[in-house]
Amino acid sequence: MTTLAFDIDGTIFDCTHIVAKAFSHGAEVFSAQHGIPLVHYSSEEIMRVVGLPTDAIFKILYPSLKDAQRRELVQKSQQALAEMVRNGEGALIEGAKETIEMLFNSGYRMCAASNGTREYIEAILETHGLSRFFLPLMVIDEKIKTKSDIVKYYMERSPAGELFIMIGDRKSDSDAARDNGIFFIGCAFGHMGLLEIGHEKWIAHRFCDIPGLVRQIEQCMHTKHAQ
C-alpha cells in the first residue's frame, strides 16, 4: 500500500492571484480596529515566504506586532483567503482533480501535508470536490508544529510497511520527506519552479506526471526488496 502526502499551495492549488488581496484585506480590517498602520505586500513579496507555516509567514511580514496581535491578523487574513476560495477565486493546478481521482480509484491513500490553516485548506478541498479523496485533515496546531510533524502523524497511524511519498514544490516539502525518511517528488510547476527542488531525483513537470513517478518509486522499492 502507498500513501501520497500532498502539499497544497503550489502543488494542488494556485493562490498567486488572490493572496495579496486577502492579506491586504486582513491588514485593512486590523488597522481600522486597532489604529495600527500595516504594510501592504505585493503578491511577489508574499510568495517568497509562502511554504512556511502561516504564523512564521506573518512573523516575517509583521515582526513588530505582538503575538496576540499577529494571531488576530492571521485569522482575519485567512478568513478572507478562505472566503475567496469558496467564491471560486484562485485555481486548481491543471490536471490536479482528474489525477487525484484516478490515484484514489487506483487504491492510493492520500493525505494533505500543508503549512496552511485548517480554514484555508478545507476551503480548497471542499470547494473543488477533493475532500472525499483525502484522509481526515491534520494541520499545524499547538501539538503539530511543522509539516514534518504532519507527515509523521499520518505515518504513525498507517499500516506497517506502508510506502510514503511526499509531493510538493518547496524546500519545506523536501525537508518533511527527509525528516521522515521517505521519498519525495518535486513539482516543477509550483510557485518557485525548479529553484528549490530542481536538484531532486524525482521531478514532475506537470501534475499528470505524478502517477508515473509514483510507479517508478514503487518499482524501485520492489526491486530493492527482491534483492
Hey, what domains does the chain have and what are their CATH numbers? 2-14+92-226 (3.40.50.1000), 19-86 (1.10.150)
User: What band does 221 get if pLDDT is binned at 50, 70 and 90?
Assistant: confident
Instruction: Give the model's pLDDT for residue 160.
Output: 87
The answer on pLDDT for 227 being more than 60 is no
Instruction: Give the model's pLDDT for residue 224.
Output: 67
d(CA 164, CA 155): 8
Which region, left, alpha or beta, applies to residue 77 given φ > 0 means left and ψ of -120 to 50 means alpha? alpha
Query: Mind listing the pLDDT tens digit for each residue in 50-66?
Result: 878 888 999 999 999 99
Instruction: Give the model's pLDDT for residue 129.
Output: 97
The answer on pLDDT for 47 being more than 90 is no
Average pLDDT value over all residues in the chain: 94
The answer on pLDDT for 186 being more than 90 is yes
pTM over 0.85: yes
